[in-house]
Chain A
Amino acid sequence: MAAVSPKERVVVVTQSSLLVFLYIFLYFPIFFIIYVSFVDNTVWPFPPVFTWEWYERLWIMSDFHLGLLNSFLIGIGTGALSSIFAASAAIGLLKYQSRLRGLFAVLYLSPLFVAGILIGISSLMFHRNILGLPGNLTSAILANTTQALSFAFLVILAQLTRYDWRMDEAAMVFGARPARCFWEVTLPTIWPSVLGAFLVSFILAFNNLEVTFYNVGAIPTLPTIAWGTLRHGIEPELYSLAAVINGLVFFILIILFFLIRIGFVRLGYRGQ
């Protein structure tokens, strides 16, 4: 790094303090709610009186197991659909220099610019009144996939821009058909980004409220249980629920981080 003038140092220190404060702002509420989930005196937990009660109450909560299972199913269904569509689209867009690719890229990214609640209510109306599909897991997976697909597409696209398509050409020159080329050359190289896209869309659908709520009918999922509980005021079970989900999300994000690193290495990235 080049020498920093005193004036520049003031700027860097200011920016760094902003960054540190942003981390505190983002993480303090999350860690505080995890801390509170372990204490009995939740309103003013100083000094803490530790207890497992909120976890026990969460465990015996009638809808908890079902909600967890349903959220998992919605996450896996959405993750699978999104990552397959997104991988296929990203490969098509980057491998073949079609004139239409700008148009397709816009279409694939468009769900990012539609508000979640709008996707929720429009899918509800469309599924129920036109497809005759009542609110259930299928309906929720289909609606969630629209938004998750964009995120999955971004994740794969960001990594695939480093992919060297000459490897595919080489395989084709030696007589491999496109399908074989995909299974034996492309996929073994890009799998971390596809798995990363799966995990991102899994988490988004697992935690989604505004799309899932309108499309899942009366079936409980973890976010809809939390929404229902919160409407009657904050209850301590919510703390343990939040702690469990946050733990799960951060576990998946750590896997994701290593996948990105593996992806960089596999795609021939060797630092700056």
Chain B
Amino acid sequence: MVSFRELRQSPNFRFVMLTLPGALFLLIFLVLPLISILVFSFWRTESYQLIADWNIENYKTILGQKTYLTFMWRSLVMAVSVSLVCLIYAYPVAYLVAKRGGRYRLILVLLTAAPFFTGIILRVTAMQQILGPIGLLNMALQAFGFEPIQILMYSNVASAIGLVYLWIPFMVLAIYLSLLNFNFELLEVAYVNGAKPWRAFLEITWPLNWIGTAIGIVLVFIPTFAAFVTPRFLGGVNGALYGNILEHQFGATGTWALGSAMGVVLFFICLIFIMIIWRTINLQRSGYTGEEF
């Protein structure tokens, strides 16, 4: 039998005492809520009340009706394109800052991250002030006698620009943090041995930084797939995405059970996406050495 005194002094006990409070908090206030909407998704709602009447009607509605599938498809296309644009744009930028930022790289990268902290709603307001029908861009075009650009007003393109605007900081940060630990001298070795720059990039830089890049892609994909503020204010009449009808269930209609089921579907789509990305990660190819931190 181990005495309490000995137990208190064991590193494992201290580890648990320090890490458990936050972990319990997350289990209660993150995991249990997610499980609870899974349960509620099999119930039904009647005049704003949840009724424990087990059924799968909610899922039949979401996965069987064309409207819901259309919204899901639109969100998927939006999330994939926004992630791609962010990836293609953020990579060279993060690369530049990590490789040549020198003593300024902390401030250079923090400058790309700073706007993230001003909050979604104000950033979307700012974007609407630029892209909207009476936004700066259109007013400027009119002032100089040009036709307004229809595609930038209340359209999916405007939504996509807004979403890139919101989430590109995550992509830059994720790739930057990965490149910080990347040994750029490996590239010199490749060049000396006759590799062309693009080949050195594809065979060294890209695979060795794929984990960080993949995390960036996931961190952009998820909030974009679930977006509801941006499409609402920039997307116009045909711009509603999955997040908008999800939000609707918890607003005026008060169909909690259907909304819960939509939340569960959202969760699983994101999970499937994470798993697909995870399968592309080859730890050995990424320079993983077995150390966790």
Contact = CB atoms under 8 A, between A and B. Distances in A.
Contacts of A105: 292
Interface string B118-137: 11111111111110101010
Given A15-B95, A29-B130, A242-B122, A98 B29 contact: no
Contact of A94 (B197, B228, B256, B293): B293
B229 A210 contact: yes
Nearest to A252: B117
A98 to B, nearest CB: 4
Contacts of B247: 117
A167 interface: no
Interface stretch (A48-56, A62-70, A143-151): A143-151
A161 B293 contact: yes
B165 A26 contact: yes
Interface SS of A by simple majority: helix
Interface in A85-107: 85-86, 88-89, 91-98, 100-102, 104-105, 107
Nearest to A257: B110
Nearest to B177: A158
- The size class of the interface chain B forms with chain A is 35 or more
Contacts of B11: 96-98
Contacts of A86: 22
Contacts of A209: 119-121, 229
B93 A121 contact: no
B26 A110 contact: yes
B92 interface: yes
A96 B274 contact: no
A242 B126 contact: yes
A234 B119 contact: no
B254 to A, nearest CB: 12
Given A121-B259, A126-B36, A100 B122 contact: no
Contacts of A149: 22, 25-26
Given A126-B36, A242-B126, A260-B106, A43 B134 contact: yes
B15 interface: yes
Contact of B114 (A96, A101, A153, A250): A250
B129 A36 contact: yes
Contact of B23 (A1, A104, A271): A104
Interface string A11-48: 11011101100110111111011001000000110100
Contact of A108 (B17, B26, B97): B26
A118 B125 contact: no
B1 interface: no
Interface in B20-46: 21-23, 25-27, 29-30, 32-34, 36-37, 40
Nearest to B107: A257
Interface string B134-145: 101001000100
B29 A142 contact: yes
Interface stretch (B53-61, B66-74, B203-211, B219-227): B219-227
Contact of A29 (B107, B165, B168): B165
A190 to B, nearest CB: 14
Contact of A100 (B15, B17, B21, B100): B15
B115 A30 contact: yes
A92 B18 contact: yes
A272 B26 contact: no
A117 B18 contact: no
B119 A104 contact: no
B180 to A, nearest CB: 11
Interface size grouping (class) on chain A: 35 or more
Interface stretch (B152-160, B260-268, B281-289): B260-268
A125 interface: yes
B37 A93 contact: no
B96 A32 contact: no
A126 B28 CA distance: 10
A193 interface: no
B260 A121 contact: yes
A203 interface: yes
Contact of A122 (B34, B107, B117, B139): B34
Contact of A204 (B19, B117, B129, B292): B117
A253 interface: yes
A173 interface: no
Contacts of A28: 130
A234 B19 contact: no
A46 B37 CA distance: 51
A226 B89 contact: no
Contacts of B81: none
Nearest to A260: B106
B93 A15 contact: yes
Given A88-B18, A118-B226, A125-B33, A25 B93 contact: no
B32 A126 contact: yes
**B115, B139, B197 — which one has the most chain A CB atoms within 10 A of its CB?**
B115
A36 B130 CA distance: 11
Please name the 6 residue pairs, one residue from A and one from B, whose CB atoms are nearest each other, closest first: A92-B18, A207-B119, A115-B226, A85-B22, A126-B33, A122-B33
10 contacts: A15-B92, A32-B136, A88-B18, A97-B11, A104-B19, A146-B26, A203-B117, A234-B128, A238-B125, A242-B122
